Structure formats: C-alpha cells, structure tokens
A and B are shown apart, each in its own frame.
Chain A
Amino acid sequence: MINALLALLAFQLIGEVLVRALDVPVPGPVVGMLLLFVALRARGSVPEALQHTAGNLLSNLSLLFVPAGVGISAHLALLWDSWWQLLLTILLSTLLTLLVTALVMRSAIRVVAQRDRQEA
C-alpha cells in the first residue's frame, strides 16, 4: 500500500516538475496521470497494490471535493448576484455538450460501420 501511494505521489511530483519546467498551463496531476498510463502500458499489467489503492481512492473521490466546495462560503455575494444566470448557463451548456457528444459519436460509428461493410 505504501509502495502504491509512493507511486501515485511520485508520478504527481514528476508531473508538477515537468509542467513548471516546460511552462505549460496543464495541471501537474494530469501529466502524472498520462505518465502513469504510459508506465502501465509498458509494464503490461497493474500491480495488485496499486489496483487496490487506486480503487480505494477513486471510490471515495466525492469526499475529496468537499473542502473545495465549502470555498463557496467565500463567494456567497457573487452567487447571490447572478444565481439564475449561472444555473441557466450550466443547464444549457451541459445538455448541449451531452447531446453533441452523443450525436457525433453515433454518426461516426455509422460512418465507420459503413466503410467496413464496403471494404468487406
């Protein structure tokens, strides 16, 4: 378990260092995630301890959102001023994103299937 934790921390650390060294506006943990993915591919399997620790961490992911969410107490005035604009923006943009993703993916699956049929 300590080894798995060490691996997660080390990949995050490498990510943070790389992001700063290369001056790219991508969060360090995202680079850490990509590097760990590459490492897992190279290894060809997930170590059992890492599987276990990652599973534990991700199954309690929503707890980790709470401290940031409480930060809203610092922005109550802003929310009070524009609550309906925020809610409407979120509702419309989320549904738009959802449907565009679904429709594009469905069309692309059809195009690929059609091409495969023509080749066969």
Chain B
Amino acid sequence: MDQQLYSIWVYLAQTPLLWLTATVGTYQLAVAVARRLGAPALLNPVLLAVLVLVGLLWATGTPYATYFEGAQFVHFLLGPATVALAVPIYRAERKLRQVLLPGGVALLAGAAMGVVAAVLIGRALGLPELVLRSLAPKSITTPIAMGIAEAIGGLPSLTAVLVILTGMTGALCGSEALDLCRIRDQSVRGFALGLASHGLGTARALQLDAEAGAFAGLAMGLNGAMTALLVPPLIRVLGL
C-alpha cells in the first residue's frame, strides 16, 4: 500500500498536472472562502491562495522550480491578458478625452511619484539594491510590473508579492486617505485609486461608485504603460 502511494506520488511529482491543478483549485477555494466571509480586503484570494500553496510546497518538500513547471501554464496567460487591457482602455476612450489634460498631468505626476517614493523611502530604510529594483514598478498590475522588474534586474517573483501588498494597501485605506484630504470628485478618486494600486484598487473603487470604478480601470491601464516607459530612465536618475 505504502509502496503504491509512493509510486503514485513519484508519477505526480514528475508531471505538470499536479501543481497546475493545485494552483487553479486553491485559487477557486480561496475565492469561495473570501466570498463566504463577505470579501474583506485583508482576505485577498490571491494572498490566501499563495499562502496555502507555499505551505503545501513546504510540507511536501517541493522546490519552486518543480511547482512552476506546472503553474507556468497559468503564468503564461499574463502576457495575453496584458494585451487584452487594450479593450477596456479603447472602450473608455471617449470618457478619457473629457479629462485628457488633467488626467494626463495626474498620470505623469502619479507614475513618477510611485517609482521615486518607493525607491527613496526604501533606500532611506536601508533596503538592498536588488529589493529597490524590485520595488520600483510596484504600483502597476502584476504582469507589466514583473516584466519591468526582469528588464531592470530586479526579482520578478518578489515584485509580484510587493505589487499585491501595494494593491491591498490602496484597497484597505486609500478611500479613507482621500476622505481626509476632502477629495470628493468620483472621477478623481477612482483615477487615483487605480493609478496607485492597480487591480485591487480598481476593485475597491468599483465597490464604492460606478464612475470611480471606470476611471480606476482606465488609470490602471494607463499607468501600466506610463510606468513601463518611466522606470528605466528614472532608476538611472536615482542612481540604481
């Protein structure tokens, strides 16, 4: 019996099937749990699924490289998903044109601030250079942020986690911070949430107000492109 279990495990450990199934299954489970508990911002399904999978890898002594052989099929779809962002941006184009100038100025200021603040604060707190490079693109959606981290010599997998933490920060206290500064215009609130904390900020904006949600999605897509363009020259200026 033990012998048979062992040979089944040997088979599963060799094919991508096991960890591919575990990735999709754990995520669906995390979504169901989060929904059951009323989708609190702290119980982000991505964070939950990551924690469970890290525990599973640790318990079974599986190296990340083995896990990724299976999970790479899910990971690959980030590329086409990034290309697909062109569709919502195109659909919101008319709305975008109404605030073209203010939105453009805010996009430039916010994208630059996202990179500069992360690098300077991180450096002041003594974080090593490899971590600073991984922090630079943290405001934007994971697929683009990971691509940037790779291009500038950061750690894409570390960037992914920092991006998720950034999204949770915006979702948890972004709206309260905007209230404190008496910013009431829903287009401005949404734009800032999507720009500073990508998809998780956009999800929060959608919860609060439909107009804020549309502007958040737009800002998320635009900042993805803007940060991709700004990071390489900015980190040179910042001496990285």
Whether the Cβ atoms of A108 and B157 lie closer than 8 Å is no
**Which residues in B have their C-beta under 8 angstroms from that of A63?**
23-24, 27, 74
Whether the Cβ atoms of A75 and B197 lie closer than 8 Å is no
Known A-B contacts A29-B144, A67-B72, A78-B158; A94 and B169 likewise in contact (beta carbons under 8 Å)? yes
Whether the Cβ atoms of B174 and A64 lie closer than 8 Å is no
**Which residues in A have their C-beta under 8 angstroms from that of B12?**
none
Question: B208 at interface (Cβ–Cβ under 8 A)?
Answer: no
Interface residues of A in 28-85 (CB under 8 A from B): 28-30, 32-34, 36-37, 40-41, 46, 50-51, 53-55, 57-58, 61-75, 78-79, 82, 85
Please report whether the interface of chain B is mostly helix, strand, loop or mixed according to DSSP. helix
**Which residues in A have their C-beta under 8 angstroms from that of B75?**
64, 67-68
**Which residues in A have their C-beta under 8 angstroms from that of B155?**
75
Give Cα distance in the complex from A92 to B101, angstroms.
Answer: 27
Whether the Cβ atoms of A101 and B113 lie closer than 8 Å is yes
Please report whether the interface of chain A is mostly helix, strand, loop or mixed according to DSSP. helix
Whether the Cβ atoms of B67 and A70 lie closer than 8 Å is yes
Known A-B contacts A5-B80, A73-B64, A82-B131; A66 and B151 likewise in contact (beta carbons under 8 Å)? no
Whether the Cβ atoms of A92 and B121 lie closer than 8 Å is yes
Q: Which A residues contact B (CB, under 8 angstroms)?
A: 5, 8-9, 11-12, 15, 25-30, 32-34, 36-37, 40-41, 46, 50-51, 53-55, 57-58, 61-75, 78-79, 82, 85-106, 108-109, 111-112
Additional A-B contact list (12), CB under 8 Å, known A71-B158, A72-B161, A93-B117: A27-B150, A28-B79, A29-B78, A32-B82, A64-B75, A66-B71, A67-B67, A73-B58, A78-B131, A105-B99, A105-B192, A106-B188
